Structure 1
């Protein structure tokens, strides 16, 4: 089964309804794309608790696929459609502009950073509920970087090293600090570990297999943790706890702090074109890559997408490896660990089912 991200391209060959006005090319592209995306299957993780040997089965998503008509579409129509195919709308537009060579508005980098910070903050504020604590109120829509920083970290700002992190979780100024204190003390270092090379756009495109989501023939970890692995706090946590679920959640914390600083300084990272026909933008889950396939006449045949989820869902990738490191003991503990592992891996919406005494119960994990 293919686990790479879908091809995004216009589908203009549908027969128009004579009773309705003719939609533009971009409208039809977007409408068709959203309908096909809704029809794709979701990723599902089924946990079979066992005191000694818990097992997880992974049913990987069938990606939606967007097939262009033979005549292709104009770059402007492909760009207009890419804007609507979220969930990372600004990043999707930025990567498409870079891939198609369309140029970007002056505020594109800041729009991408604002979008990524809003999504990262929402995901972090969901952590207390995931740990069984009272849900934390997310920042108000439209909150600026300073407000988000106070909601996440308190008045002292984000921890930058191990000593500051320990003081921050010890004070418990915010719901998130208390959640990280629980995560730090209750989660074993082995939970969710994956021993994979790290890939980020800084690693370069050489050796990248878009179809298999591999780098030089092997699976990699390419989520937010790969983006911030060079910071002091992430390196300290990796040295003490390994590359498990705690390391990934701390990376998410660090990424939010970096985004806050970028917005405060007016220095968002612009989408890049590291190679002809390829665009890269950052999102809260990791890099978003788009590759344009152009016809000889310059019309767009397809936009191929690759993101952190595609890498993680590789049969030998981070999800499979991480779920092989679940705790022994009671089923409730194993279920909590499985849900935390799935949430830490930047997968988006994933259904986690727990099978107990022949009956399954499930819940949708993650955010769109």
Structure 2
């Protein structure tokens, strides 16, 4: 694992949502099912699938397409609109049809499948290649990398620091292995994971929701949701939700490790780093060489 020396001077402040259990315990199951997707509407389909499965309810018709569509659109906006603007570039116009996203974002041949193809693609100027190339150049090899165990079924409800991002879904891909070996588990590695996850969403390649020891695990745009819930006579009696944001912001988690490995002369890049990691809630930094 490539990693630059840690810099301990950052203070991370967030304004998290109130505990979800306080919002749903005592309500009817139907109220909970309707409430959560509205509150957490960035991943509306994932929330609805997770909470319905947690209460043993039938999934709505077309749920898989809705879930994949939400994930694909989230990645597309990040890669083609938000990040280019953050880098001072013009946003890319996105097609109306989701099936046209790969050609728009990656070029006619799609996203590269081998290390050699990937290195060629970075120089191609096609689609999001200029964004990936600039990020690659801005962050030195080993900068902003993290070294955490990947999320798996057995640790999904663990509240501490684990790699619960879409990178965990694609860590074995040849391009991901190549970027990890050549640059570390840093910003470029994370953006490659988003591109691969978009392709998986559009090709029905996302992992299926599963139930593990009473918990429901559902893929979403930022990683894997875990929900555990019980009900009695139609009323919610317990509810626990562990999200990618919980893991990203945990002590010693992805954000803390990545910021610690941001070289002091590149502290001005902290907002871009947060944009790439994308913890889903506002983050304020203090300390470092520059406040962010």
Instruction: Sort the TM-score into its range (normalised by shorter chain).
Output: 0.7 to 0.9
Q: What is the CA distance between 1:99 and its match in structure 2?
A: 0.5
SS at 1:205 equivalent? helix
The alignment status of 1:307 with 2:243, answered yes or no, reads yes
**Which residue pairs with 2:3 in the alignment?**
none
After the TM superposition, which residues 16-31 of structure 1 pair with which residues of structure 2 at under 5 Å, given as runs?
Answer: none
Q: Is the 8 A contact 1:53 1:328 kept in 2?
A: yes
CA distance in 2, matches of 1:340, 1:238: 20
Given candidates 153, 177, 199, the residue that maps to 1:204 is 153
**Which residue pairs with 1:346 in the alignment?**
278
Name stretches of at least 5 consecutive residues in structure 1 with no aligned partner: 1-51, 363-368
Q: Is the 8 A contact 1:286 1:346 kept in 2?
A: no
The alignment status of 1:326 with 2:262, answered yes or no, reads yes
Q: What is the CA distance between 1:279 and its match in structure 2?
A: 2.3
Instruction: Give RMSD over aligned pairs.
Output: 2.6
How many residues end up aligned between the 2 structures? 284
**Which residue pairs with 2:134 in the alignment?**
182
Q: Is the 8 A contact 1:94 1:281 kept in 2?
A: yes
**Which residue pairs with 2:211 in the alignment?**
273
CA distance in 2, matches of 1:321, 1:94: 31
The alignment status of 1:129 with 2:77, answered yes or no, reads no
With structure 2 as the length reference, what TM-score do the two structures score? Answer: 0.87
Name stretches of at least 5 consecutive residues in structure 2 with no aligned partner: 1-5
The alignment status of 1:253 with 2:195, answered yes or no, reads yes
Greater Rg over alpha carbons, structure? 1
The alignment status of 1:56 with 2:10, answered yes or no, reads yes
Task: Rate the CA distance shift 1:155–1:60 in 2: closer, same or farther, 3 A.
Answer: same
Q: Deviations over 1:311-365 (max 9, x none)?
A: 0111121111111111233xxx3212x12321232302434457799x96x5xxx
Q: Is the 8 A contact 1:308 1:346 kept in 2?
A: no
Q: What is the CA distance between 1:268 and its match in structure 2?
A: 5.6
Q: Is the 8 A contact 2:94 2:101 kept in 1?
A: yes
**Which residue pairs with 1:77 in the alignment?**
31
Q: What is the CA distance between 1:57 and its match in structure 2?
A: 1.1
Q: Deviations over 1:200-236 (max 9, x none)?
A: xxx2235843xxx13xxxx211111111111111111
Q: Is the 8 A contact 2:36 2:47 kept in 1?
A: yes
Given candidates 106, 127, 130, the residue that maps to 1:153 is 106
CA distance in 2, matches of 1:194, 1:207: 18
SS at 1:255 equivalent? helix
**Which residue pairs with 1:24 in the alignment?**
none
Q: Is the 8 A contact 1:68 1:301 kept in 2?
A: no
Q: What is the CA distance between 1:68 and its match in structure 2?
A: 5.7
Task: Rate the CA distance shift 1:182–1:62 in 2: closer, same or farther, 3 A.
Answer: closer
Q: Deviations over 1:263-310 (max 9, x none)?
A: xxxx6654332333x322221111122221334x45213432211110
Q: What is the CA distance between 1:243 and its match in structure 2?
A: 1.3
With structure 1 as the length reference, what TM-score do the two structures score? Answer: 0.70
**Which residue pairs with 2:224 in the alignment?**
287
Q: What is the CA distance between 1:155 and its match in structure 2?
A: 1.3
SS at 2:154 equivalent? coil
Q: Is the 8 A contact 2:142 2:184 kept in 1?
A: yes
**Which residue pairs with 2:51 in the alignment?**
96
**Which residue pairs with 2:68 in the alignment?**
113
**Which residue pairs with 1:20 in the alignment?**
none
Q: Is the 8 A contact 2:7 2:259 kept in 1?
A: no
Given candidates 109, 121, 127, the residue that maps to 1:168 is 121
CA distance in 2, matches of 1:204, 1:324: 28
Q: Deviations over 1:96-155 (max 9, x none)?
A: 111111021341111100011001110111222223x31313514xx2233211221111
